[in-house]
């Protein structure tokens, strides 16, 4: 046994490939082994040419009978391949001289590709081909061929070659894989599971391997869930030593705030505020998640917590993931808290020069409450006495930002209390595992007088009608959003789509002011547009999904969402939550492109039927799977490689049993293998 190597030690991995692998989260051989195929191809046999079927992928082998380059609508290379049973045409629209040489008449070729029915009978477009020896004795693979998910800039062939080497070493027993679970609770050997996943024999249940119900995949999933369980337990033991400052209740200040805000807190707001205040009065650091649907009034609850810190002469900070959102908090808190005699400080990335120096000085000195973006937690920012950190819309923060944030204000075993707030409801089935390290408070009641948003779905084909409807809305003096999401990760394309929509609507709706906000604009520009919308200077705001989070403009009462069929339920729910905050009846129009697939249809149906965030979250889990529900894609939190909380929920119990049976050494092996240096990320 030689032990595990870093990817950079694997043959054929230079700095370029290593950096692409890193983008997939692959740093060493173990990571390679845990990179599961998306699907498999059967190249273990040759299909006779008279037995190929259209719309299937097949491997054929035969002799080149003919090749020619023809000029139809496009130039193309046509090759006729024949075996004893029949013939198949290969068609290439892009081709190189080397290919023409490969298809020299008389050569024996082995080919894999998708079969179609064409003008000359069966054909394959752009199949993968290679010349094989004349005696036709070239061996076929004994196992199915894995097709791995790749990332931009990493060729599938390269990735496959690199993973192959690691699998090869496992197969020969050269890669040291300690296996403390082997034989426990009916589990098999880890090595066997890995080999089955990467090199299944022709008899394996491929569907089960792909969807994860195969025992080999479950073997890995159990180990991974166990690793998280063990790591969390270890963290909790370490945390038991940590202490925080005991804060007062801030009652006098809170009462004065209530007099100012002009509304009565809901029962739910009172209850969760009490839960939080009780935590703050203990020297055990608070670690609490506040869940409340969009518009449920989390800001007031946060204010109560901030006041408890300020009343005790300590500092508190509230951070938001975007500048728009942070500034909105700053405005609210300036109005609510400054009159109480508190010293507020604003810090965001755009605060530069003298203003920044003054902000830093205040944070190290007289400031009571800091409000801003993650700029508050960058190097060089020092607090005098930070006792509480409130993180708004926490799922929007990257893992590293959250870590930096937790570290601020810590000294020795002393850390600030933490309150994280989210409007993304977590289905109960997931909350336990996803937020295992946190106490949870839920605001399960909306402020009175909210009318549920009416939701309709309309096909994009009826665009004129939709624009007409918008004209009527605006004529009534209402404001509206028009969201143009693109699903590709390109915010450039998304910005362009929004730009052209804004232009089109500007022309179609003369007399109304149409604004535009998208992710490629400078923060200051975005801010300015949002401020004008807030002030009523803009009637219709065309936007990308940048407005998804937390923006509060009560007079906006209509939300149009284009491409609604391509968005997930949580995202639709967040967007819809931007309206219905004022007294007017609000509406949400989901514009979709027909025909709808089953999942998309089901989603739009759910949106029409309910405005309850929890029901929506449960449905979202059903329709999409937990990775997306929890937003792990963006944040890297709970990044499971093999396990899937939706699919594997019933593995959580056996995992607890296993955890109880493992000794310390076994536990260390498993944590190290699955989590390694990322241990700190296990924590939310
Ligand atoms: P979110 O939970 O989405 O952050 P906010 O705190 O922004 O919600 O509150 C949404 C709106 O409801 C704000 O305009 C806020 O002033 C108002 N609001 C909050 N609590 C109440 C309440 N108890 N009664 C009436 N209005 C409230
Ligand atoms: Mg909010």
Average pLDDT over residues 636-653: 73
Average pLDDT over residues 4-14: 88
Query: What span, in angstroms and rounded, lies between the C-alpha atoms of 220 and 153?
Result: 28
Average pLDDT over residues 555-575: 88
pLDDT at 354: 96
Instruction: Specify the pairing of strand 57-71 against strand 108-118.
Output: antiparallel
pLDDT at 403: 52
pLDDT at 406: 62
CB 323 within 8 A of CB 350: yes
Q: Average pLDDT of the chain?
A: 86
Residues lining ligand 1, Cβ inside 6 A: 263-266, 269, 292, 294-300, 423, 447, 552, 554, 581
Q: Which atom of ligand 1 is nearest to the CA of 449?
A: 25
Q: Which atom of ligand 1 is nearest to the CA of 581?
A: 11
pLDDT at 119: 86
Nearest to 572 by CA among 541, 536, 609, 603: 603
Asked whether residue 404 carries a pLDDT value surpassing 70, the answer given is no
pLDDT at 23: 81
Q: What is the CATH topology of the domain spanning 251-443?
A: Rossmann fold (3.40.50)
Asked whether residue 426 carries a pLDDT value surpassing 70, the answer given is no
Residue with CA closest to ligand 1 atom 11: 295
pLDDT at 632: 39
Q: Which atom of ligand 1 is nearest to the CA of 269?
A: 23
CB 114 within 8 A of CB 176: no
Query: Exposed (0-12), middle (13-18) or buried (19+): which is 241, by Cβ within 10 Å?
Result: exposed
pLDDT at 681: 47
Query: What span, in angstroms and rounded, lies between the C-alpha atoms of 378 and 648?
Result: 38
Q: Which atom of ligand 1 is nearest to the CA of 297?
A: 6
Average pLDDT over residues 332-346: 95
Ligand nearest to the CA of 303: 1
Q: CATH for 454-610?
A: 3.40.50.300
Alpha carbon of 332 to ligand 1 centroid (Å): 11
Asked whether residue 325 carries a pLDDT value surpassing 50, the answer given is yes
Residue 477 CB coordination number (10 Å): 11
Residue with CA closest to ligand 1 atom 5: 297
- What's the token pair of residue 521? 């604009």
DSSP labels, 478-523: -EEEEE----SS-HHHHHHHHHHHHHHHHHHSTTS-EEEE-TTS-H
pLDDT at 630: 46
The three-class DSSP label of residue 330 is helix
Pocket probe mutation, ligand 1, options 289, 292, 293, 299, max atoms within 8 Å of Cβ: 299
pLDDT tens digit sequence for 185-215: 889 999 999 999 999 998 899 999 999 999 9
**What percentage of the chain exceeds 90 in pLDDT?**
54
pLDDT at 619: 82
pLDDT at 627: 46
| DSSP-assigned letter for residue 339 | G
The three-class DSSP label of residue 221 is helix
Q: What are phi and psi of 122, to 5 degrees?
A: -65, 140
Query: What span, in angstroms and rounded, lies between the C-alpha atoms of 438 and 418?
Result: 10
Alpha carbon of 325 to ligand 2 centroid (Å): 8
Residue with CA closest to ligand 1 atom 9: 297
Sketch the domain layout of the chain as residue ranges.
59-132, 251-443, 454-610
Tell which wins on pLDDT, 404 or 83: 83
Instruction: Specify the pairing of strand 128-131 against strand 386-391.
Output: unpaired
Average pLDDT over residues 374-382: 88
pLDDT tens digit sequence for 481-522: 999 876 555 666 777 788 889 999 999 999 999 999 887 888
Alpha carbon of 618 to ligand 2 centroid (Å): 22
CB 90 within 8 A of CB 127: yes
pLDDT at 396: 56
Ligand nearest to the CA of 318: 2
Residue with CA closest to ligand 1 atom 19: 297
CB environment 79-114: b (16+ within 10 A), e (fewer): bbbebeebbbbbbbeebeeeeeebbeeebbbbbbbe
User: Looking at the domain covering 59-132, what would its CATH class be?
Assistant: mainly beta
Pocket probe mutation, ligand 1, options 269, 295, 301, 613, max atoms within 8 Å of Cβ: 295
Q: Quick one: how many helices (H) and strands (E) in the chain?
A: 24, 21
**What percentage of the chain exceeds 70 in pLDDT?**
89
- What's the token pair of residue 612? 């309850």
pLDDT tens digit sequence for 69-97: 999 888 999 999 999 999 999 999 988 88
Using alpha carbons, list the distances in angstroms from residue 342 to 113, 183, 255, 263, 416.
70, 62, 15, 21, 20
Query: What span, in angstroms and rounded, lies between the C-alpha atoms of 670 and 177?
Result: 10
Q: Which atom of ligand 1 is nearest to the CA of 554?
A: 14
Alpha carbon of 294 to ligand 2 centroid (Å): 7
Residues present in the chain in total? 684
* 452 — pLDDT class (breaks 50, 70, 90): confident
Query: What span, in angstroms and rounded, lies between the C-alpha atoms of 77 and 101?
Result: 12
Same fold yes or no, 59-132 and 454-610: no
The model's pTM:
0.66
Q: What are phi and psi of 315, to 5 degrees?
A: -100, 150
Contacts of 119 by beta carbon, 8 Å cutoff, 6+ apart: none
pLDDT at 521: 84
* 684 — pLDDT class (breaks 50, 70, 90): very low
**∠ CA(165), CA(168), CA(174), 5° rounding?**
105
* 678 — pLDDT class (breaks 50, 70, 90): low
Q: Which atom of ligand 1 is nearest to the CA of 292?
A: 2
pLDDT at 236: 74
pLDDT at 2: 60
pLDDT at 683: 47
Tell which wins on pLDDT, 2 or 562: 562
pLDDT tens digit sequence for 31-47: 999 999 999 999 999 99
């Amino acid at each position: 046994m030689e032990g595990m190597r870093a990817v950079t030690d694997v043959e054929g991995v230079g700095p370029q490939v290593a950096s692409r692998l890193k983008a997939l989260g692959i740093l060493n051989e173990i990571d390679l082994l845990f990179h599961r195929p998306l699907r498999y191809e059967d190249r273990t046999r040759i299909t006779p040419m008279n037995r190929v079927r259209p719309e299937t992928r097949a491997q054929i082998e035969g002799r080149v009978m003919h090749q020619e380059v023809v000029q139809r609508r496009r130039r193309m290379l046509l090759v006729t391949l024949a075996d004893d049973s029949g013939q198949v045409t290969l068609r290439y629209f892009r081709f190189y001289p080397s290919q023409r040489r490969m298809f020299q008449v008389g050569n024996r070729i082995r080919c894999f590709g998708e079969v179609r029915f064409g003008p000359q009978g069966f054909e394959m477009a752009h199949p993968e081909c290679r010349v094989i020896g004349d005696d036709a004795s070239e061996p076929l693979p004994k196992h199915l061929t894995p097709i791995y998910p790749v990332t931009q800039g990493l060729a599938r062939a390269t990735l496959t070659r690199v993973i192959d080497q690691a699998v090869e070493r496992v197969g020969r027993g050269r890669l040291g894989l300690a296996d403390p679970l082997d034989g426990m609770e009916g589990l098999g050997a880890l090595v066997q599971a890995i080999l089955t996943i990467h090199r299944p024999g022709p008899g394996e249940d491929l569907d089960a391997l792909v969807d994860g119900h195969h025992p080999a995949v479950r073997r890995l999933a159990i180990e991974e869930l166990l690793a998280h369980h063990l790591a969390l337990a270890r963290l909790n033991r370490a945390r038991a030593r940590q202490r925080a400052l005991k804060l007062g209740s801030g009652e006098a200040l809170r009462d004065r705030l209530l007099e100012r805000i002009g509304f009565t807190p809901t029962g739910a707001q009172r209850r969760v505020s009490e839960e939080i205040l009780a935590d703050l009065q203990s020297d055990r650091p608070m670690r609490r998640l506040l869940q409340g649907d969009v518009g449920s009034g989390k800001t007031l609850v946060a204010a109560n917590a901030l006041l408890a810190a300020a009343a005790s002469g300590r500092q508190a900070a509230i951070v938001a993931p975007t500048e728009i959102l942070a500034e909105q908090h700053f405005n609210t808190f300036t109005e609510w808290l400054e009159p109480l005699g508190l010293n507020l400080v604003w810090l965001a990335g755009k605060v530069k020069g003298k203003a920044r120096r003054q902000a830093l000085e205040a944070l190290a000195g007289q400031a009571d409450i800091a409000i801003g973006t993650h700029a508050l937690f960058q190097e060089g920012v020092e607090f005098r006495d930070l006792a509480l950190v409130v993180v708004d819309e926490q799922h929007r923060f990257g893992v590293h930002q959250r870590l930096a944030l937790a570290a601020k204000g810590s000294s020795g075993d002393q850390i600030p209390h933490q309150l994280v707030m989210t409007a993304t409801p977590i289905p109960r089935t997931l909350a336990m595992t996803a937020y295992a390290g946190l106490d949870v408070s839920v605001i399960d009641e909306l402020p009175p007088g909210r009318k549920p948003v009416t939701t309709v779905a309309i096909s994009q084909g009826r665009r004129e009608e939709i624009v007409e409807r918008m004209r009527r809305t605006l004529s009534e003096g209402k404001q509206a959003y028009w969201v143009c999401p693109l699903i590709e990760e390109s915010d450039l394309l998304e910005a362009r789509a929004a730009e052209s929509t804004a232009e089109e609507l500007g022309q179609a709706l003369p007399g109304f002011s149409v604004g535009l906000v998208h992710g490629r604009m400078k923060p200051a520009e975005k801010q300015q547009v949002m401020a004008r919308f807030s002030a009523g200077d803009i009637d219709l705001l065309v936007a990308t999904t940048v407005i998804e989070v937390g923006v509060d403009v009560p007079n906006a009462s209509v939300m149009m969402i284009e491409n609604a069929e391509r968005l997930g339920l949580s995202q639709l729910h967040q967007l819809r939550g931007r309206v219905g905050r004022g007294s007017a009846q609000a509406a949400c129009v989901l514009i979709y492109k027909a025909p709808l697939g089953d999942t998309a249809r089901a989603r739009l149906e759910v949106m029409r039927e309910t405005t309850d965030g929890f029901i929506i979250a449960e449905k979202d889990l059903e329709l999409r799977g937990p990775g997306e529900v929890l937003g792990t894609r963006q944040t890297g939190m709970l990044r499971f490689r093999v396990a899937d909380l939706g699919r594997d929920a019933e593995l959580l119990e056996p995992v607890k049993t296993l955890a109880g049976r493992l000794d310390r050494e076994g536990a260390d092996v498993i944590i190290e293998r699955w989590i390694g240096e990322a241990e700190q990320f296990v924590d939310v």
